[in-house]
Amino acid sequence: MLSPGAGRGASYILEARGVRKVYGDHEVLKGVDLLVSPGEMVFLIGPSGSGKSTLLRCCNRLEEPSGGSILIGGVDLLSPRTDINTMRREIGMVFQAFNLYPHLTALGNVALALRKAVGKPRAEAERIALENLSRVGLADKARAYPAELSGGQQQRVAIARALALEPKIILMDEPTSALDPELVGSVLEVVRDLRQSGMTLVIASHEMRFAREAADRVLFLDQGQVVEEGDPESLFNDPKEERTRRFLRDVRR
Amino acid sequence: MSALQRFVATFLDPDVATRYAPQIFYGLLVTFAIGLAVVVTGLGVGLLLAVLRAFGFRVVNAVLIQIVDMLRALPPLVIILIIYFGLPNVGIVIPSALVLWMSLSAVLAAFAEEVYWAGITSIPAGQWMAARSTGLTFVQTLRFVVLPQALRLAIPPLTNRTIAITKNTALGSAIGVNEILGQSISAEAFSGNATPLTMAAILYVLLFIPLVVASRSLELRYGRGAR
Amino acid sequence: MEILVHEFFNLSVMARVAPLILRGLIETLLLCAFLVPIGLLGGLGAMLVATSKYRFARLAAMAFIDFFRSFPPLVLLIFIYSGLPFAGLHVPATLAICVAFLLNSSSYYGEIYRAGVLSVPRGQIDAGRSTGLTAWQTFLYITLPQGVRNVLPELLSNTVELVKLTTLASVISAPELLHSADLARSLTYNSSPLVLAAIIYLVLLWPIVRVIRRLEHRLGPQSAR
């Protein structure tokens, strides 16, 4: 199912080529390509420090890439003429640390960007926010503050916050790594639903089982480079590269 | 004479500066001495008060808290004037430098006690439990386990407070203490020139900027803990 | 004992000087009503420059803040009031107070605001920006509310300090409570007017100090300044 709003003539929702990122004299990303078609769910796996987070953060310019090109729906993300704030509404982001605003209710968290970035009146913004909270199963927690919610609930609110802006693609940076094991399931449930409804997703994660079950493609990153890429079946069962084999072995242990 | 030359002649006259330098330098020594004395007594008494509070005598603590709050609420100059003008009238004569030292020490002690106390109460109960369960007495626990940790936490807010209070040594000029400001005001009157005042300002800034910068880096190092 | 009461708590003297003291109190309240908002705004301005993305602006703001935090307010006041006339610039006492205390309080408030802004975790800003909020919107709706809440005790504490600072006005004989009290003292050869002024300051500021104490207790030790 094609995701709506794919740019005119663009076949990829996210087209990142040759992305490089340098911090001082440390090269975190050494020319990474990431091409995502509408409706795809792409998993990024790899050891910590491999650049997965950095890559995702470059894709909505929370980090400025040192080199390469990134197109979202055919539009050049890195061009100075691009309005980054408008573009960011098309790119949803979910963080490992949730990053919910502690001084606002769940409803307030989801509605804030609708009111201020999009400019919707309060009543309409709250209506949309409530819809999205229902979508992640938390309509009854709309008036609760983040401190009153469990980790899994907070992350689901964070997903609703990204969803409410109707993005073309959602990037998730280790969405379940900060959660107690029994709460992971509720978040993965929501991710599954998103996929079913045709949302394009790029997820950096350690959830290998989930990747095997749901991902269309898996990329293995190590030391800033894509070492291997392929569908989950082949990559997990029959990795071609030695580094991939070693990583999968360590993770299984 | 151009405007710049006039400015320099009024505020930065080298002749006036050299003529009154010894007098102002004497003021610097006095400021330094009183400042140091205030810091030592203030921080020391504050620590004793915090330790006293740790013993938990209800009545003592109730009184202590009221006195501390009063000292935190009263402007230092009010305290200084009351002691300076009032005591002679009841037969107690104290040199003005001593009045300055007493007043500022009392105020610093009050603020310091609050900071120390906040540090002590932030040490988790588990620390007390662990120490007492190995047979250490209350005082030993306080001395070897709790206070060392509490003092570390107290350093950044303390430096801030201490700097603020030692700047108040300038208030001594209002009651005739021969510190920097007092000396420079009389030099200014005698010479009819503002250079002594400029010298005083520069001296104070030179004295305190390193402390202010140092306190900022101390705060960064020991920092406000993540909540 | 009796002599202490006569010198410090002489009710008849206090009654006699009450009108003078009252006038001084009003003058102090007016002064504070002006200085506190202006100081808060000045500090906000200093902080905005100090957290700007331009390195030069940041350094200039920090230099301003550090300079005026190191400059004892009394010295600054005397410099403006007694020093500037030598250059031909005659500054009325009240104006000297306003300028000196504005410079002083902006730097202190600025530093406090800055600590507040820095205390908000980076992730909050990431979250705001990633949903399309501009840098300014993120600052206004996400950073500022949290930052101010974190440093509320310090802001209150500094406001108390500012009120106490007005007593310095008495040194240059500007209309203000302590000045009136000191005048009354010299007229009556008795310290009770000063004690009366002290009591008034306590009534004004003690409640705020207790509020600060409660806030500090709730927010934890690092907020006790």
Domain boundaries, chain C: 2-224
Instruction: Check CB contact under 8 Å for B173 and C74.
Output: yes
Average of per-residue pLDDT across A221-243: 90
A117–C146 CB contact, under 8 Å: no
**Is the CB of B225 inside 8 Å of chain C's CB atoms?**
yes
Chains linked to C by 3 or more Cβ pairs within 8 Å = A, B
Helical (H) or strand (E) element with B213:
helix B195-222
| B128: confidence class by pLDDT, cuts 50, 70, 90 | confident
Ranges A86-100, B66-80, B114-128, most confident: B66-80
The answer to the question of residue A9 being in a domain is no
Q: Is A117 in Cβ contact with C132 (below 8 Å)?
A: yes
Tokens standing for residue A115: 């009111």
- Cβ–Cβ gap B69/C206 under 8 Å: yes
Q: Which residues pair with A200 in a beta bridge?
A: A169
> Is residue A1 in a domain?
no
The CA distance from A152 to A181, in Å, is 10
Instruction: State whether residue B174 sits within 8 Å of chain C by CB.
Output: yes
Instruction: Determine contact, residues A45/A22, Cβ cutoff 8 Å.
Output: no
Per residue in B12-65, pLDDT (tens digit) is 888 888 888 888 899 999 999 999 999 999 999 999 999 999 998 999 999 999
| Tokens 């990142």, located at residue | A16
Q: What pLDDT, on a 0 to 100 scale, did the predictor assign at position B127? A: 83
Banded pLDDT at A3 (limits 50, 70, 90): very low
| Closest chain B residue by Cα to residue C178 | B78
What are the tokens at B204?
A: 């104070």
Provide the pLDDT for residue C223. Answer: 44
What are the residues whose beta carbons fall under 8 Å from the beta carbon of B74, sequence distance 6 or more?
B107, C164, C198, C201, C202, C205
Whether residue A7 lies inside any domain: the answer is no
CB A187 within 8 A of CB A150: no
Alpha carbon distance A65, A54 (integer Å): 9
Token reading at A125: 């913004």
Residue A220 reports pLDDT greater than 60? yes
Determine the straight-line distance between the first and last CA of chain B, rounded to whole angstroms: 61
Question: According to the model, what pLDDT value does residue B224 have?
Answer: 47
Residue A95 sits at the vertex; the CA angle it makes with A91 and A97, to the nearest 5 degrees, is 160
Q: Is residue A208 part of a domain?
A: yes
> How many Cα atoms sit within 13 Å of C203 on the Cβ side?
8
Q: State the complex-level ipTM.
A: 0.86
Q: Which single residue is written with the structure tokens 């369960």? A: B133
Dump pLDDT digits (tens) for C11-56.
999 999 999 999 999 999 999 999 999 999 999 999 999 888 889 9
Q: Which residues contact B189 (CB under 8 A, 6 or more apart)?
A: none
Instruction: Indicate the number of domains in chain A.
Output: 1
Quote the DSSP letter at residue A6.
P
**Residues B199/B218, Cβ–Cβ less than 8 Å:** no
Q: What is the CATH number of the domain that holds A174?
A: 3.40.50.300
Determine whether the interchain pair C130/A86 forms a contact, defined as Cβ–Cβ distance below 8 Å: no
pLDDT in tens, B147-169: 888 888 888 788 878 888 888 99
Q: Cβ contact (<8 Å) for A112 and C124? A: no
And the tokens for A164? 């409410």
What is the CB-side half-sphere exposure of residue A149 using CA atoms within 13 A? 27
Are A101 and C126 an interchain contact pair (Cβ–Cβ within 8 Å)? no
Tokens of B213: 């910068």
Contact between B24 and B88 (Cβ < 8 Å): no
| Residue B32 touches partner C, C-beta closer than 8 Å | no
User: Can you state the percent helix, strand and coil of chain B, rounding each to 5?
Assistant: 85, 0, 15
Instruction: Check CB contact under 8 Å for B115 and C86.
Output: no
Query: Best interface-test mutation with C: which of A112, A128, A168, A173 has the largest number of C CBs within 10 A?
Result: A112
Max CA distance (Å), chain C: 73
Chain B partners (3+ C-beta pairs within 8 A): C
Question: For the ranges A1-10, A239-248, C176-185, which has the lowest average pLDDT?
Answer: A1-10
> Which positions in chain C touch B188 (Cβ < 8 Å)?
82-83
Count Cβ atoms within 10 A of the Cβ of residue C77 and give its class: 0-12 exposed, 13-18 middle, 19 or more buried: buried
Q: Fill in the DSSP letter of residue C71.
A: S
Report the range of poorest mean pLDDT among A82-86, B191-195, B218-222, C104-108.
B218-222
Kindly calculate the radius of gyration of chain B based on its CA atoms and give it in whole angstroms: 22
Question: From the list C197, C205, C223, which residue is nearest B73 (CB)?
Answer: C205
Per-residue pLDDT, C5: 87
Mean pLDDT of A69-96: 90
Give the per-residue pLDDT at B77. 95
- Are B115 and C224 an interchain contact pair (Cβ–Cβ within 8 Å)? yes
> Chain A neighbours among C 131-160 (CB < 8 Å)?
131-134, 137, 141-142, 145-146, 149
Work out the minimum CA distance from C136 to partner chain A, whole angstroms: 11
pLDDT in tens, A123-181: 999 999 999 999 999 999 999 999 999 999 999 999 999 999 999 999 999 999 989 98
Instruction: Report the CATH architecture of C2-224.
Output: Orthogonal Bundle (1.10)
pTM above 0.90, yes or no: no
Out of A152-156, A248-252, B181-185, C18-22, pick the least confident: A248-252
- Token pair for residue B51? 């330790």
**Percentage of chain A modeled with pLDDT above 70:** 96
Q: Give me the half-sphere count of Cα atoms (radius 13 Å) on the Cβ side of residue B141.
A: 19
Residue A25 lies in a domain: yes
> At A71, which amino acid appears?
L
Q: Which two tokens stand for residue C113?
A: 């605001």
A2 vs A198: CA distance, rounded Å: 7
- Residues of the domain holding A168: 14-252
**Residue C219's pLDDT is what?**
63
Instruction: Give, in degrees to the nearest 5, the angle at Cα A128 between A126 and A134.
Output: 100
A/C interface, count of CB pairs below 8 Å: 66
Give C129's contacts in chain A (Cβ within 8 Å): 62, 85, 88
* Residue C224 pLDDT > 60: no
Which range has the worst mean pLDDT, B216-220, C12-16, C69-73?
B216-220
> Does pLDDT of A5 surpass 50?
no
Domains of chain B with bracketed CATH: 3-226 (1.10.3720.10)
For residue range C131-168, list pLDDT tens digits in order.
999 999 999 999 999 998 888 888 998 999 999 999 99
pLDDT, mean over chain A: 89
Confidence band of A1 (pLDDT split at 50, 70, 90): very low
Q: Is pLDDT of C130 > 90?
A: yes
